[in-house]
Amino acid sequence: MANSGLQLLGFALSLLGVVGLIIGTILPQWKMSAYVGDNIITAVSMYQGLWMSCAFQSTGQIQCKVYDSILQLDSALQASRALMIVSIIVSVAGLGVASMGMKCTNCGGDDKTKKAKISMTGGIIILIGALASMIACGWYANRIIQDFYNPFTPVNTKYEFGAAIFIAWAGSFLDVIGGIMLAASCPRGKPKSTPKYPIASTRPPSSTTKEYV
């Protein structure tokens, strides 16, 4: 059976990963304006996320605008938004399933083999959620790279990676590590149970009486 300490560590890492996914999904800094032109010092920094775009003034003012229409967004942004939401929902569901199979909880009954299977199932669900977020981050990052190296993209509209996408990547990595630790609760074969009663001997009982003629 898996060590309870390993299960607790895996659950904690997965929980931190889910928090990172939520923070990364909410933050608007998925991509930021790249200073690749001749004018290095600019008064406005542009950021774009999954839900809104923001302009940071050099005076400290911030102006954000939520995207008006979903249908006007490009396919990479729509897919990344949907995959991140799915990743968060699936990962939270995996945490709920894994908590019922951990040794330190009373849920799932007293059968250790059954609880190990539940914990393993929760870890697999968390890994599926982490995979969805990795696909979302990779898809969005690939779009940033393509637009950056596209010679037809104007210099003042080029973007590079923002802080939010790195937070989402870190959350995905933590979910992968935690999911693997929880999935390591794969139950082994049941040990052979010792008989409760002594096995009767097949040897005939020795005669202690003597025959007299």
What is the model's pLDDT at position 206? 55
Asked whether the predicted pLDDT for residue 208 surpasses 60, the reply is no
Terminal CA-to-CA distance of the chain, rounded, Å?
66
Asked whether the predicted pLDDT for residue 40 surpasses 60, the reply is no
Mean predicted confidence (pLDDT) in 189-209:
52
pLDDT tens per residue across span 52-61: 988 888 777 8
The b/e string for 143-155 (b: 16+ C-beta within 10 A; e otherwise) is bbeebeeeeeeee
DSSP 90-136: HHHHHHHHHHHHSTTS-TT-S-HHHHHHHHHHHHHHHHHHHHHHHHH
pLDDT tens per residue across span 143-158: 999 988 888 877 777 8
Per-residue confidence band for 7, with pLDDT thresholds at 50, 70 and 90: confident
Q: Which residue has the higher pLDDT, 55 or 71?
A: 55
What is the model's pLDDT at position 61? 82
CA atoms within 13 A on the CB side of 120: 13
Asked whether the predicted pLDDT for residue 193 surpasses 70, the reply is no
Asked whether the predicted pLDDT for residue 102 surpasses 70, the reply is yes
What is the model's pLDDT at position 169? 95
pLDDT tens per residue across span 110-119: 677 888 888 8
pTM: 0.79
Contact present, 153 and 13 (Cβ < 8 Å): no
Q: Which residue has the higher pLDDT, 175 or 7?
A: 175
